[in-house]
Structure 1
C-alpha cells in the first residue's frame, strides 16, 4: 500500500457522506504550508527585544491567526475527503488523555488561559493527523516533506550568512545564556528549537531517499546535519545517535519483548540521567564521575522548582499551559526571585505533564505516548521488516520521547518536535488499524 498512512484504502462506513477528491496541487500546497508552519512560524526573531521578558499569557497573535487559518483549511480538506478516515485515531488511550486534559481545564488556576492554549494544541493535533490523510501517496508525502524542508533550510543558511544578528545568538539576547553567543539558530527563535528541527529534517531526508529520490534525500541529510553542528544543541546532538542506533536495532530484534525493552529502556535511562541527577544522590554521585553536568544545561533548579509545585497540586495539576510564563510564576511574591521564574517551560516533558495535568495526567501521557505506539508498531510489523514510512514515524516518535527528559516536547502544540511526535503516533495508529482491517 503506497498511501502515507495506509488509510486511503479504507472503505467508508455505511451511511457515511460520500468523499470527494482533492487535486494534487491542493494536497501538496496544504501539506507543505502546514509542515513549514509546524516546524517554525516565527521567523528571524529579534532576541534583543526586552519585551520578550514579559509574561506571555496573551500569546502570539501571529501564531493564533496562522493556526486558526490552517486549521480551517485542514478541516475543510478532511471534510471533503471524509472524516471517517480519522476514526482509527479514536483509541481509548488517546480519548482518555483528551478527556483528562479537558477536565483539568475546568480545574485550572487560569481556566481561560488553559482554554486558549488547549485550542492551539487541538488544532496542532488535527493538522498533524490531517497531513497523513491529505497526502495521496507515500511518494507525494515524501516530496512534500522535501520541499518544506528546503523552505526551512535555505533561509536558515542565508540568515546566518546575511543577517547574523537575527540568525545567530549574540551576547545581547535577553532570553538566552551568554555562552550561546555565536551559535546558529537560523530562522528559529532559539538554537535548541533549530537543533531539534534539524534532527527531524535528517529523518525526513532518509525517508525521502528511501521513498522518492536518493539525491534529494541525501542533500537534506547533509544540509540539516551541517546546520545541526552549527547550533551545538546538546540535546539534539546527544539523542540523534541514540535514535539511529535503537531504530536500526529494531530491524534486527523483531520479537515483542526485546523490541519493547529496546525502545522503552533508553527512555527510562534518559529520565534517570536527568531527574535522577537531582533527586537520587547515588545516581548524582555516579554521573558526576562521568558527566560534568547531567542536566546538560543546568536545568536542575527548574526541575526542583517544578517538583515543589507538583506536590502542591498532585491530582489535578495547575492546568494546561497555566504555569510557566504566567504572572503567577514570573511575578509571584517570594523570598527569592531567580531566573527559574522566567523559564519558558520545565525542560522536561514528563515533569511538565505532571505539573499541568497532575499525576493521573502523567500516567495517561505515558500510556498514550509511550505504551500505545510500541503496541501499534508491533501490530504493523508482526515480526516482519519495517518499511520506510513506519521507520520515519518510529524515529520521530522515539526522538520525542527521549528528548522529553530534557525539553518540554509532548504537550506543546507550538513545538515542532511535539507536532511531529503527534504525527508519528497518529501514523502508527492508522497503519496498525488498517493492517488489522485488511487482515
Structure 2
C-alpha cells in the first residue's frame, strides 16, 4: 500500500517519513476520495442552478447563504476529523513567516473593520476554505489518487452543466426573458449550473487545467475528454478574458521546466502578468501610459470597468493602512446608498473586478504587500526547491497553473480572498500544495 508521503515526494520516500506516517491512524481510500471529492465539488460550485429571475438577487444582503454555510461547516468538521486521524503535524510546514504575518494582519484588520461583526462572519467561510485547501494534500494518499478524485469531480460538474443547458435552459443560459439583471450582450451565452457566464468560464478553465493533469498523471483518455468538454463549454460561455489568458496559463509553467534560473522562471511567469496590469490599471491611473496605449487599445480596461477601478482606488486612499475590512465594502448599504446617483451603477457591483484593488480595500496597502509576499514570492521560492534542475512533475505543474490562473485573472476579476469563487479555492490549494511539496522534498534530500 502506498504511503501518504508519496503525494508530496517524487520517487521513494525516506524511511523515517514512511514510519511516521504509518504510526498515525489510517483512513480508507474510499473515505479519502469521498471527502476530497466533496471538497472539490464545493470549491467549484456549492450553489448550482442559480435562478436569475428571483427578485431577491436585487436586494442588498449581508446575511450570506445558509446552504453555503451548512455545506462548508459540514466539510470543515469532516476535514478536521480526517486531519486529527492522519496527524495535524503534517500541516506544520505551512507555518512560514509570510503566511503567519499575513494571518496576523488579517486578524488585526477584522478588528479595525468599519463593520467588525460582518467582517468576522464573512471571514469564517474563508477560514474554512483555507483549512480544506490545506488538508486536501494531506488526505490524498498519492498523486494518482488525487488525479482520480479530480477527474470524478470534473466529470460530475461537466455532465451537470451540459444536462442543465439541454433540459433547464432558463436556468443555464442567459436570457433577457428570465435574467432580472439584464445584460443584453450575454443573451444566449451558456452558464450551465453556475450563476453567471464569467463564473462558468473560470470553472471551465479549471476543468481544462484539471484535464491536462489527469491526462499526465492518470489517464490520457479521460484527461483529453475533460479538456474537450470544458473547451466547448468555455467557447459557448464566451468568457473572453479567460479565453485570452488560457494559452499563457498552460504554456508558461511548461516553459519553466526548460530553464533552471529562478530569475528567468519568475520573468516567464510574472512578466506577462505585470504587463497586463500595466495595460489595464496603469492606463487608468497614469496618463502617459493611457495616452500611449489609446491608439492601440481603445478600452484598456478590457472589461469596461474603468469607473469601478477609479471608485475602488479612491476608497483605498480613504483607509490606506487597515482597509475597510474583510467583506465590509462591496454589497453593503454603506457602499450602495452612500454615494451620488451618478455612481449608482458602480456601487451595485459585487467586486472591483481587480484582485489587487480589492485586497487594498480589504486590508489596506500593507495587507497587499503581505499578500504578494505570501502568495506570489513564496510560491516561486517553493517551485525552485521542488524542481531546481528543470523538469517539473505533473502535480507541481498543476498547482503552478492554478496559481498562475488566479494571478493573471486577478487583473480582471477579484478572486483572492473570495471563498465563494472556484478560482480562489483552487488557488489556496495550489499555494499550500506547493509549500508542502517543497517542504517534504527538502526533508527527502
TM-score range for the pair, normalised by the shorter chain length: over 0.9
Matched, 1:21 2:32: no
TM-aligned CA deviation for residue 438 of structure 1: 1.2
TM-aligned CA deviation for residue 131 of structure 1: 1.2
- Structure 1 regions of 5+ residues with no counterpart? none
Structure 2 matches for 1:397-408, cutoff 5 A? Answer: 397-408=403-414
After the TM superposition, which parts of structure 1 deviate over 4 Å for at least 4 consecutive aligned residues? 7-18
Q: Given the alignment, which residue of 433, 436, 439 partners 1:430? A: 436
**What is the CA RMSD across the aligned residues, in angstroms?**
2.0
Q: In the alignment, is the contact (CA less than 8 A) between 1:397 and 1:425 conserved in 2?
A: yes
Counterpart-to-counterpart distance in 1, 2:22 and 2:340:
58
TM-aligned CA deviation for residue 17 of structure 1: 12
Q: Given the alignment, which residue of 330, 334, 342 partners 1:328? A: 334
For residues 160 and 260 of structure 1, do their structure 2 counterparts lie closer, same or farther at Cα, with a shift above 3 Å needed? same
2:100 corresponding residue in structure 1: 95
| 3-state SS in 2 of match to 1:336 | helix
| 3-state SS in 2 of match to 1:309 | helix
TM-aligned CA deviation for residue 142 of structure 1: 0.3
- Structure 2 regions of 5+ residues with no counterpart? none
Matched, 1:207 2:207: no
Q: In the alignment, is the contact (CA less than 8 A) between 2:9 and 2:444 conserved in 1?
A: no
1:135 corresponding residue in structure 2: 140
Counterpart-to-counterpart distance in 1, 2:406 and 2:29:
31
1:158 corresponding residue in structure 2: 163
Counterpart-to-counterpart distance in 2, 1:186 and 1:341:
27
Q: Which moved more, 1:80-89 or 1:285-294?
A: 285-294
For residues 146 and 17 of structure 1, do their structure 2 counterparts lie closer, same or farther at Cα, with a shift above 3 Å needed? closer
Counterpart-to-counterpart distance in 1, 2:98 and 2:265:
21
1:58-115 Cα offsets, whole Å, 9 max, x none, are 1111111111111111111111110011110111111111110000000000101110
Q: In the alignment, is the contact (CA less than 8 A) between 1:168 and 1:182 conserved in 2?
A: yes
TM-aligned CA deviation for residue 418 of structure 1: 0.6
| 3-state SS in 2 of match to 1:3 | helix
Counterpart-to-counterpart distance in 2, 1:383 and 1:59:
47
Q: In the alignment, is the contact (CA less than 8 A) between 1:254 and 1:384 conserved in 2?
A: yes
TM-aligned CA deviation for residue 50 of structure 1: 2.0
1:122 corresponding residue in structure 2: 127
| 3-state SS in 2 of match to 1:56 | coil
Structure 2 matches for 1:14-413, cutoff 5 A? Answer: 19-171=24-176, 172-175=178-181, 177-334=183-340, 336-413=342-419
1:4 corresponding residue in structure 2: 7
1:207-236 Cα offsets, whole Å, 9 max, x none, are 111111111000001001111111111121
For residues 345 and 313 of structure 1, do their structure 2 counterparts lie closer, same or farther at Cα, with a shift above 3 Å needed? same
For residues 202 and 17 of structure 1, do their structure 2 counterparts lie closer, same or farther at Cα, with a shift above 3 Å needed? closer
Counterpart-to-counterpart distance in 1, 2:255 and 2:17:
37
Counterpart-to-counterpart distance in 1, 2:276 and 2:339:
34
For residues 176 and 282 of structure 1, do their structure 2 counterparts lie closer, same or farther at Cα, with a shift above 3 Å needed? farther
Q: In the alignment, is the contact (CA less than 8 A) between 1:31 and 1:134 conserved in 2?
A: yes
Counterpart-to-counterpart distance in 2, 1:108 and 1:16:
42
With structure 1 as the length reference, what TM-score do the two structures score? Answer: 0.96
For residues 384 and 335 of structure 1, do their structure 2 counterparts lie closer, same or farther at Cα, with a shift above 3 Å needed? closer
